[in-house]
Amino acid sequence: MDATPVTRTPTLQALDADLQRLRFSHHRPVMALAAMLLGMALTTPGVAAAEPGSAATHRQAAASHSQALALQRASNSVVGIEVKAVAEAPSSETLGRQRSGSGVVIGDDGEVLTIGYLLLEADEVSLLLDSGKRVPARVLGMDLASGFGLLQALVPIEVPAVPLASDTGVSTDESLLLVSGGNEGAVSVARLSARRAFSGYWEYHIDTALFTRPPRTDHSGAGLFNARGELLGIGSLLVMDTPGEHETGPGNMFVPVDLLAPIIGELRERGSTRASHRAWLGVNCEERQGVVRIVKINPDSPAEQAGLEPGDLITAIDGEAVAGLETFYKRLWSGGRPERSVLLEVQRQGERRTVQVRSVDRMGTLRQARSI
């Protein structure tokens, strides 16, 4: 960050004063945050600079002041999350029993949105506030289809809720704010690299995901905000094929908040969603040039019971050709009840085989989170 002193007009003194107060309320790199907020507030795309001392200058300063406060509210809304899974939880094999990440306060009653895999089979959940205080929380619900998880603090946390973006469409020339929480919480500027479908190896697919660069490793549950301080998405993954200006490389994938509005009522009322109750085989797959290959079989899963093996190539499901992970998953989920017979055509060492797998409801395989 450039340490060269800058001259600010008197109309920006109030903005500087607000940003300086961050040092008393944040564990994050405060001065870096202040500089980023100021820079974003003063470089809104499409806004031309006004003549010094003019009425337009004062209006721009007031707008920048308001924008910076909105960005500060966004930063303040991010909390740390610590989770302890139930003993012998199957998900601990890949996620560990002790998990940590971030979440974003979206409700004045202490409701926190995060990435759902942190909460799989959770037994104990705590929120870590910027004040250093740790408060207990409970799992309100998880949506396996989108990947969202919803928490609620069990005591008042006095953290203002952040608004959700009504339109997650942003251009690649806009500065976005990426914020993580907890003791190691950090803030940085990110750029949108792509908006496209995403298929995960663990039987997961969303039609629209947000991809940003540069990469952050503390992405789990982190908040991605636009220049108005509105929440755009929740951090999910570090991916290695994020498109850049000249080449692909590492970046982060975010689940857009567009996917939350249709399901948040279900999450609050039922703890899950209809879309979460879908067929599951227990395979981890990769796709290369449209070919789907099994790389891992989950223990005690329908796939293991049916005799599927790592290295098998899945060529068809229920008589329909598989052209990639997306077509494989969508056919699996749309083929009927979660618990049913699924016919897979596979190639194993050049030999074609037909394997019948009895799928199960993924939600039914998870140990339910309990209230604290």
59-69, pLDDT tens digit by residue? 555 556 777 88
pLDDT of residue 8: 26
Residue 6 has pLDDT above 80, yes or no: no
* Low-confidence winner among 53-57, 71-75, 205-209, 256-260 (lowest mean pLDDT): 53-57
The conformational region for residue 158 under phi > 0 = left, psi -120 to 50 = alpha, else beta, is left
The DSSP code for 303 is: H
C-alpha to C-alpha distance for 79 and 2, rounded to whole angstroms: 29
- Nearby residues of 134 by Cβ (< 8 Å), 6 or more positions away: 82, 126, 127, 128
* CATH, range 277-365: 2.30.42.10
C-alpha to C-alpha distance for 28 and 83, rounded to whole angstroms: 21
Residue 187 has pLDDT above 70, yes or no: yes
Nearest-5° Cα angle at 319, 317 to 323: 55
Among residues 269, 188, 193, which one has the least CA distance to residue 223? 188
Indicate the pTM of the whole model.
0.85
- Nearby residues of 247 by Cβ (< 8 Å), 6 or more positions away: none
The DSSP code for 164 is: B
Q: 256 pairs with which residues across the strands? A: 233
pLDDT of residue 56: 54
Q: What is the mean pLDDT of the chain?
A: 85
Domain 78-160 has CATH 2.60.40.420: no
SS3 state of residue 116: helix
pLDDT of residue 367: 78
SS3 state of residue 65: helix
Residue 325 has pLDDT above 70, yes or no: yes
Residue 276 has pLDDT above 70, yes or no: yes
Instruction: Please name the residue ranges forming H helices in the chain.
Output: 13-20, 30-42, 55-76, 92-95, 264-270, 302-306, 325-334
Residue 250 has pLDDT above 80, yes or no: yes
The DSSP code for 258 is: G
Q: What is the pLDDT of residues 116-127, one digit of tens each?
A: 999 999 999 999
Domain residue limits, the chain:
10-76, 78-160, 176-252, 277-365
The conformational region for residue 303 under phi > 0 = left, psi -120 to 50 = alpha, else beta, is alpha
- Nearby residues of 76 by Cβ (< 8 Å), 6 or more positions away: 25, 26, 130, 159, 160
pLDDT of residue 3: 37
- Nearby residues of 64 by Cβ (< 8 Å), 6 or more positions away: 12, 15, 41, 42, 44
222 within 8 A of 235, measured Cβ to Cβ? yes
Confidence bin at 371 (pLDDT 50/70/90): very low
